[in-house]
Chain A
Amino acid sequence: MMAGNGAMLIKDGRVIDPGRNIDGVMDVLVKDGVISAVGPGIKEKAEKIVNVRGLVVAPGFVDMHVHLREPGQEGKETIATGTRAAAMGGVTSLACMPNTVPPLDTVAMIVYLLSRVAADAVVRVYPIGCLSQERKGEQMADLAGLLEAGAVAFSDDGDTLMNSLVAKRAMMNLAELGAPYIEHAEDAHLLDGGAMHDGLVSLRLGLPGRSTLAEDVIVSRDLLLAGATGARLHIAHLTAPASIDMIRQSRARGVKVTCEATPHHLALTDAAVGEYDTMAKVNPPLRDEACRRALVAAVKEGVVDVIASDHAPHGELDKDVEFVQAASGVVGLETMLPICLDVLVAQGGLSLAALVRLLSTAPAGILGLNAGTIAPGSQADLAVFDPKAEWTLDARKLTSKSKNTPFNGRRMTGKVVHTLVGGRFVVRDGALEQG
């Protein structure tokens, strides 16, 4: 190793740090895995200089909605493969959903997961704990214990907590503990066995539909409960226009509510189902064009706080079956940035800084993570990307163990070049570092 101070100078990139209103060409100095200085023309000697002229240097992305599938469904994804997929997408911190097998509903499971993370993960992983024991929606989980063990938020994601009393009690306790309650908002009964959005395409294909009402009913219930309990409510994968309106109104009244949108709901509609393409099957479903536009508008307006991938890997066995029986979910970690650059920035007119806030600063704030900023003293977690690089997605080449993307073959603009976690390259020049 070369003699020197161990510092690395990331030179001449367009540095975007939304939390501090920074957006300009400057240098970033990293020492001992921590940001040491940010500014134009840093003169301090560094052992290593990385020239990133023409690239954007952003705080590493924080994906607060990821299914790593470990333990229990390692055929779909593992901590090793899922975190590498995350790194390829510029994600340096992720929160993993607890609907594993068995679920993350006990202290022992959280401790076990974190031991697996310590062994196999290449990015930071923060577990989300279950709201209810065994995700059954009946008995509340040991929320305080899970929190102490390392859970950063709570959710029965994949299912809605249907029992309103259990939901209310969980919110009361989480208000006391100060951790967010994350809802997968789809009323289980109103879904009525639906397999896709209840609209013209489902009518034509003769498939049972999932109505936006199923989302609206739960969002309205949760907003009332959050208002009454003082809990911090976070609505996962928002899709329904009426829910957007209710969130806007409740927030104005002081309800502590945040929400997220996924890239697939922002980019695609139910038309993607085409002739029963199960790659476009996801919960909540891809909606119609009016809903999609309303969601994009809600992001631009600021009603939507966060972009999260809801990365949900499924294998061929789960997808290559009858549409109604196929598993729901899409992988998204590796396509989140280019899809957002297309739909929100190129088409939507959003600034790059606003996008970085949605992808990094805002989710880090909601989960209370030491992430989402390039302020001196913070961890050197960085996503360095080329906003103009053009490429075509080949699903087979995804790093994720599963290839269930609805974007296969799509032309993409924008690619992650380097991903650094704690000042170490995990992705360099668009490829994973070995070891």
Chain B
Amino acid sequence: MAVTETVADLPGTPVTGLAKKDLLDMESLSKEEIKLILDTADSLKDVARHPIKKVPTLRGRTVVNLFYEVSTRTRTSFELAAARLSADVVNINVATSSVAKGETLLDTARTLEAMSVDFIVMRHSCSGAPHILARNLDASVINAGDGWHEHPTQALLDLYTVRDKLGSIEGKTITLIGDLKHSRVARSNLIGFKKMGARVRFCGPPTLLSDGFRDLGAEVFHELKPALDGADIVYILRLQFERHRQGLLPSVKYYTRHYGVTAERVKWAKPGALIMHPGPMNRGVEIAPDVADGPQSVIVEQVFNGVAVRMAVLYLLEVRRAKGER
């Protein structure tokens, strides 16, 4: 019966957890741990297809979604993931403007600790903010995006989607296009795909993509055609319109003309290359509508897989926590 079976009973699910208490970034995950998360997500994906979409793994555990930045997609995905594992979920949305004048992050953390919270899923506009919480709390902290730094569960769901669609990640070429400099998704995917043996290309205007990324392992392109040549995955990042106001783009139109992905340009990549986007999309700016909705697009699958991957992360952190309690 779906309701009573535990995750450990699911076929192929290992009982070893993650090495660290927290999931702060892709940088601190080993290749084996990434594989473990993807395999676990495979087992958990079926839960979503059950008539009653719940397993009792996290019953009695409390998950707090602590969001200092507006997010619908990621927060909802984590909320569903926690709920499907039977955890109690609390959402705390802190307006970004109150960060400076309000309670310090550390005080917020101590308050949550006093309420015996087990997991904190955190999004914050400051790079490194989840690290402060992680250092100071016994609770497991999951980074749901910190500043320009990392968004590890996004990279994990992207890796999952690629493996699911292409059968493997190793040896594949992924081209990420857009504002790489200010993108936590780009950094996490660079590290994640490199660790899993893929080639990672970055393509964007020089103002949004510095050559320094070469030293971090990316191949750097400023023109779309050579960047897409032979690519298995075309990964399109969201363009923030404020980049023009900041003087980092001559105009948004200019960006679209040079870097916007159209059906015509998709042909520069490998036939059947996957089209991915972390959302939310600016249709007609970085991605043409017919590309977003076209046969090669796996953008909807990314969202669907996100829940299973986040369940896997919560589950594997719980395995580690349970071991610690014993």
Contacts and interface: CB of A to CB of B under 8 A. Distances in A.
Interface string A302-321: 00000000000000010011
Contact of A206 (B99, B106, B146): B146
Contacts of B127: 205-207, 276, 323-324
Contact of A275 (B99, B104, B128, B147): B128
B149 to A, nearest CB: 3
B286 interface: no
Contact of B100 (A203, A205, A325): A325
Given A206-B146, A206-B148, A206-B184, A322 B128 contact: yes
B106 to A, nearest CB: 6
Interface string B124-154: 1011110110000000000000111110000
Contacts of A199: 212
A324 B187 CA distance: 19
Interface in A233-285: 275-276
Interface in A206-222: 206-208
A50 interface: no
A397 interface: no
Interface string B276-298: 00000000000000000000000
B69 to A, nearest CB: 13
A276 B212 CA distance: 19
B105 interface: yes
Nearest to A320: B106
B215 interface: yes
B210 interface: yes
Given A206-B127, A206-B147, A207-B148, A322 B132 contact: yes
B132 A324 contact: no
Interface in A169-217: 199-200, 203-208
Interface string B148-172: 1110000000000000000000000
With most chain B CB atoms within 10 A of its CB, the pick from A206, A320, A324 is A206
Contacts of B149: 205-207
Interface residues of A, number: 17
Interface in B196-223: 210, 212-213, 215-216
Contacts, number: 58
Contact of B126 (A275, A317, A323): A323
A320 B108 CA distance: 13
Nearest to B186: A206
Contacts of A205: 127-128, 149
Contacts of A324: 126-127, 147
B128 A276 contact: yes
Given A203-B210, A203-B212, A322 B129 contact: yes
Contact of B106 (A207, A276, A321, A323): A321
A203 B191 CA distance: 13
Contact of B131 (A200, A203, A208, A275): A275
Contact of A321 (B104, B148, B150, B215): B104
Nearest to A199: B212
Given A321-B104, A325-B100, A207 B132 contact: no
Contacts of A207: 127-128, 147-149
With most chain B CB atoms within 10 A of its CB, the pick from A205, A207, A320 is A205
A156 to B, nearest CB: 24
A207 B125 CA distance: 11
Interface string B164-192: 00000000000000000000100100000
A321 B212 CA distance: 28
Contacts of A322: 99, 105, 124, 126, 128-129, 132
Interface string B101-125: 0001110000000000000000010
A375 B215 CA distance: 54
B132 A204 contact: no
B128 A323 contact: yes
Nearest to B27: A204
Nearest to B149: A206
A345 B22 CA distance: 43
A382 B106 CA distance: 44
B184 A321 contact: no
A92 B231 CA distance: 66
A275 B129 CA distance: 10
Given A321-B105, A321-B106, A322-B105, A204 B128 contact: no
A320 B128 contact: no
B184 A203 contact: no
B131 A276 contact: yes
B105 A200 contact: no
A151 B99 CA distance: 39
B27 to A, nearest CB: 8
A325 B128 contact: no
21 contacts: A200-B212, A203-B213, A203-B216, A204-B187, A205-B149, A206-B150, A206-B187, A207-B128, A207-B149, A276-B131, A276-B132, A321-B104, A321-B105, A321-B106, A322-B99, A322-B105, A322-B126, A322-B128, A323-B126, A324-B127, A325-B99
Interface of A: 199-200, 203-208, 275-276, 317, 320-325
Q: Which 8 A-B pairs have the closest CB atoms?
A: A206-B149, A276-B128, A206-B148, A322-B126, A206-B127, A323-B128, A203-B212, A324-B126
